[in-house]
Amino acid sequence: HGSTQKEIRMSTDIEKKVGNLLNSSHSKGAVPSSLPSVSADLGHKQSVITIKTVSSQQTDSFKEKLSVALKERQELVQASDSLKEMISFREKLPAFKMKSEFLKAVQENQVLVVSGETGCGKTTQLPQFILEEEISCLRGADCNIICTQPRRVSAISVATRISSERGESIGETIGYQIRLESKRSADTHLLFCTTGVLLRQLVQDPELKGVSHLLVDEIHERGMNEDFLIIILRDLLPRRPDLRLILISATINADLFSKYFANAPTIHIPGFTYPVAEYFLEDVLEKTRYSIKSDFDNYEGNSRRRRKQQDSKKDPLTEMFEDIDVDTNYKNYSLGVRKSLEAWSGLQIDLGLVEAAIEYICRNEGSGAILVFLTGWDEISKLLDKLKGNNLVGDPNKFLILPLHGSMPTVNQCEIFDRPPPNKRKIVLATNIAESSITIDDVVYVIDCGKAKETSYDALNKLACLLPSWISKASAHQRRGRAGRVQPGVCYRLYPKLIHDAMPQYQLAEILQTPLQELCLHIKSLQLGTVGSFLEKALQPPDPLAVKNAIELLKTIGALDEHEELTPLGRHLCNIPLDPNIGKMLLMGSIFQCLNPALTIAAALAYRHPFVLPINRKEEADAAKQSFAGDSCSDHIALLKAFEGWKEAKRSGNEKQFCWDNFLSPVTLRLIDDMRMQFLNLLSDIGFVDKSRGPNAYNQYSHDLEMVCAILCAGLYPNVVQCKRRGKRTAFYTKEVGKVDIHPASVNAGVHLFPLPYIVYSEKVKTTSIYIRDSTNISDYALLLFGGNLVPNKSGEGIDMLGGYLHFSASKSVIELIRKLRGELDKLLNRK
């Protein structure tokens, strides 16, 4: 677009809008329904926030008129009968009492930190207070408020809520924008977006031109994106003296943020909750008469311990306590406690116990919604299936069971928030998203498993561990509080009191716990200088070794050059908001006409795979997965075939039976299908796929499994394992940690001898031993042609990979040939 053209369009837009506004607000007895309604879905193309820049002076009078019209409309709507109830609801929220103090502080300070208990009205009210104030002071036209949310679901839900609080439909004054989806219009003055969307916006608009107020929500969670954003903002504030920054935190660690911003003032909103009774595992077991033994069968890895358990037939809980020195303070806890905590961390949640607790409440306790905290989608969907088959809870006339998960494509808003009919009980199965970002009012019972899925990063061994781990005391407190919003409640903790006492006070920052490659790419694309010196400015700077590893990885996959600058490939990867390895797999899939498999595998890797592992039918489930894999020795192929089989079954109306027979989760498969579409859109946005050419243009080799394995190799490199023969078996070695094991859930777990010499894998995890998850056996050719950078070995008689860890002997002419082929491939990947 030429800029003049844009301006002209803008001013006519404004003209039209002002006209509309004036007309509607002057027409007698105008009520919300007669107001201009703009509900635009701008679709995925609009992945960048475009803020109205009204530059020419001629528009000044329009702006004035617009401000007047906005004010008139606001007054009109607020006076209308239909909003009475809503207004009185809002006035009862604790945040309302702080309204004038808050607005005064916003006016007088560039940075403000606000804290308060969940549900007190921070997210829905604070941005709205600013909006109302600006509009009523006739500054509406210049008011552009952005409020960031860590998760997609909360951005949508909050924006929708505020729209109805203002008697509008979503996309008018209030809008949202999340990756690949938006509801906003030229009328939007308050926009909710995910933190990721704002970070990408900064690439085009580093000064955040046109933004008048920025609220960063849920800052207490210490998510990577938020920690990253505040480094940038702290540098930006002096250049944008008119910009107001408000940091919103749920718990009382507000001081930390205040200090970071030169002792910015803080406001605390006192909240109110009803008392919540608390039971720990000991009580729950007694109440439900549930035997926890089966839990230890789930305990992956520590088979020795499991055998010991079975031999001694001792109650595992008793044994656990024997290990723990009860008197020890957490700060200097004994090795015994630490070991026990570790052991418990390795345990999957015992869904049987969760089910028993739900059943217990339904049988014995009064009415009220139940909120269950689980760690991830896997468990949510497993428990969902379990409950549907439950004699009591499975009755859809009496129980409404709803999942709530952060990456759910759309939340069925009403069902989650609305109160069900009096004879029906609502049961919400959620991840820690329900801990502070989403408030369900009518919850009376909370079941807390005590864990959240957290990534931790072991920089020394280059290991990312995505494991359920114990939550912090602060989180446990939050979870309990969810039960006391409308009446006194009860919280059932499915872990012993001792564990609770040993929990750390606060959650560790994500930036300290995750691999940093995606973040590094982002820092480079925002031109924020060298990664190392930029990250030193963080609230809590990450380990320099973790930074070094990330940069090394990006160089290895060709995203950064030797000077640590972005290559064209790196730039493409910046535009794919996924792990760079997965992004590269997608690009390779499109280049080598193997797009469908790449989309499926990338979606499953980026989210979760569709296999469910029922405890009591594990062998059958393993066999089903194995039959998908055929003789490919590949978990990735297994999931690809499972997905293709599901597609086929769905087409022939046989979805349910197919999933049941093959131990697949239909919910996850549908999600993967959704994600595939989104990835396809991304590839088309960056010009790697031309949709008008039709699907066949990119899938010539999609059924060639050797090609699929080569694409996998390209994407997963440098996650390579050498298979070494040891007698009748194979041993596995990686460069960083030496010997590793294949995860017991892999189709490769029982294989003694592999047909090909290498294995690539998606993830190394450390539980009791180091396992590689999701692996694929690949040939040396795949590695040589598709792996990361090649170096001719010093003597010139072969090729080295992984810094000399892998060596291939080859003649000079073969080396030359391979280098030429790879040169061409690099050109394709790095095309502008």
Q: How far is the CB of 122 from ligand CDP (least distance, A)?
A: 3
Choose which of 67, 115, 123, 177 interacts with Mg ion (CB under 5 A). Answer: 123
Residues binding ligand CDP: what is the number (CB under 6 A)?
A: 15
Inter-residue contact 192 to 150 (CB < 8 Å)? no
Out of ligand CDP, Mg ion, none, which partner does residue 196 contact, by CB within 5 to 8 A per kind?
Answer: none
Q: How far is the CB of 165 from ligand CDP (least distance, A)?
A: 8
Give the count of beta carbons closer than 10 Å to the beta carbon of residue 82. Answer: 11
Choose which of 93, 429, 806, 829 interacts with ligand CDP (CB under 6 A). Answer: 93
Q: How far is the CB of 2 from Mg ion (least distance, A)?
A: 41
Q: How far is the CB of 123 from Mg ion (least distance, A)?
A: 3
For residue 129 the two structure tokens come to 């207070």
The mark string for 409-428 relative to ligand CDP (x by CB under 6 A, - otherwise) is: --------x-----------
Nearest to 604 by CA among 631, 632, 625, 633: 625
Is residue 284 classed as helix, strand or coil in its secondary structure? helix
- Give CA–CA dist 586/589, Å, rounded: 5
- Give CA–CA dist 72/93, Å, rounded: 26
CA-based torsion, 294, 295, 298, 302: positive or negative: negative
Q: Which stretch binds Mg ion (CB under 5 A): 107-115, 117-125, 126-134, 320-328?
A: 117-125
Out of Mg ion, ligand CDP, none, which partner does residue 417 contact, by CB within 5 to 8 A per kind?
Answer: ligand CDP
Out of Mg ion, ligand CDP, none, which partner does residue 119 contact, by CB within 5 to 8 A per kind?
Answer: ligand CDP
Q: Would you count residue 253 as binding ligand CDP (CB under 6 A)?
A: no
Q: Which is nearer to ligand CDP, 147 or 740 (CB)?
A: 147
- Give CA–CA dist 720/712, Å, rounded: 11
- Give CA–CA dist 234/238, Å, rounded: 8
Nearest to 42 by CA among 225, 232, 191, 142: 191
Inter-residue contact 544 to 568 (CB < 8 Å)? no
- Give CA–CA dist 23/632, Å, rounded: 68
**731: β partners:** 724
- Give CA–CA dist 607/409, Å, rounded: 12
Q: Which of residues 118-157 bind ligand CDP (CB under 6 A)?
A: 118-125, 157
Residues binding Mg ion: what is the number (CB under 5 A)?
A: 2
Q: How far is the CB of 148 from Mg ion (least distance, A)?
A: 12
For residue 341 the two structure tokens come to 């905590």
Query: Could you write out the DSSP letters of every residue in 324-339?
Result: --TT--GGG--HHHHH
Q: How far is the CB of 159 from Mg ion (least distance, A)?
A: 12
The mark string for 274-303 relative to ligand CDP (x by CB under 6 A, - otherwise) is: ------------------------------
Choose which of 441, 536, 690, 706 interacts with ligand CDP (CB under 6 A). Answer: 441
Out of Mg ion, ligand CDP, none, which partner does residue 426 contact, by CB within 5 to 8 A per kind?
Answer: none
Q: Which of residues 136-155 bind Mg ion (CB under 5 A)?
A: none
Q: Which stretch binds Mg ion (CB under 5 A): 7-15, 114-122, 360-368, 384-392?
A: 114-122
The single-letter code of the amino acid at 379 is E
In sequence order, which residues have a C-beta less than 8 Å from that of residue 372 and are 6 or more positions away?
Answer: 354, 358, 383, 427, 428, 429, 430, 446, 447, 449
Q: How far is the CB of 668 from ligand CDP (least distance, A)?
A: 26
Q: Which is nearer to ligand CDP, 406 or 580 (CB)?
A: 406
Q: Which of residues 642-681 bind ligand CDP (CB under 6 A)?
A: none
Q: Which is nearer to ligand CDP, 142 or 442 (CB)?
A: 442
Return the axis-axis angle of helices 99-108 and 122-136, rounded to nearest 10°. 70
Q: Which is nearer to ligand CDP, 177 or 309 (CB)?
A: 177
Q: How far is the CB of 217 from ligand CDP (least distance, A)?
A: 7
Q: Which is nearer to ligand CDP, 439 or 775 (CB)?
A: 439
The mark string for 94-123 relative to ligand CDP (x by CB under 6 A, - otherwise) is: ----------------------x-xxxxxx
Q: Which is nearer to Mg ion, 474 or 612 (CB)?
A: 474
Query: Could you write out the DSSP letters of every residue in 355-422?
Result: HHHHHHHHHHS-S-EEEEE-SSHHHHHHHHHHHHT-TTTT-TTTEEEEEE-TT-SS--HHHHHSPPPT
Q: Using CB under 6 A as the criterion, which residues of the chain lie in contact with ligand CDP when the complex forms?
A: 93, 116, 118-125, 157, 161, 417, 439, 441
Q: Which residues bind Mg ion (CB under 5 A)?
A: 122-123
